[in-house]
Amino acid sequence: MLPLRNNLPEQRRGLLKKLLVSATGPLRILESHNGLSALIANDTAISSSSGTITSFDGIWISGLAETASRGLPDIELQGLTARLALCREVAMVTDKPMVVDGDTGGTIEQLQYHIRLLEGMGISGLIIEDKVFPKNNSLDMVKPQVLEDPDVFARKIAAGKQAQLSEDFLLIARIEALIAGKGMPEALMRAQKYLLAGADAIVIHSRSGRPDEVLEFARGYQELCRANQLDVPLVCIPTTYGSIKEEELFEAGFKLIIYANFLLRSAYLAMKETAEAILEHGRSLEAEPLCCPLPELFKCIEPAVRAVPKN
Q: Which of 43, 57, 74, 130 is catalytic?
A: 74
**One-character DSSP codes across 249-274:** HHHHTEEEEEE-SHHHHHHHHHHHHH
Q: What share of the chain is helix, strand, coil (3-state, %, to 5)?
A: 45, 15, 40
**One-character DSSP codes across 279-291:** HHHTSSGGGGGGS
Taking residue 40's Cβ as centre, other Cβ atoms within 10 Å add up to 15
Distance CA 178, CA 139 (A): 11
Give the largest CA-CA distance in the chain.
66
95 is catalytic: no
Q: Exposed (0-12), middle (13-18) or buried (19+): which is 75, by Cβ within 10 Å?
A: middle
3-class DSSP assignment, residue 74: coil
Q: Are strands 53-55 and 45-47 parallel, antiparallel or unpaired?
A: antiparallel
Question: Known catalytic residues?
Answer: 74
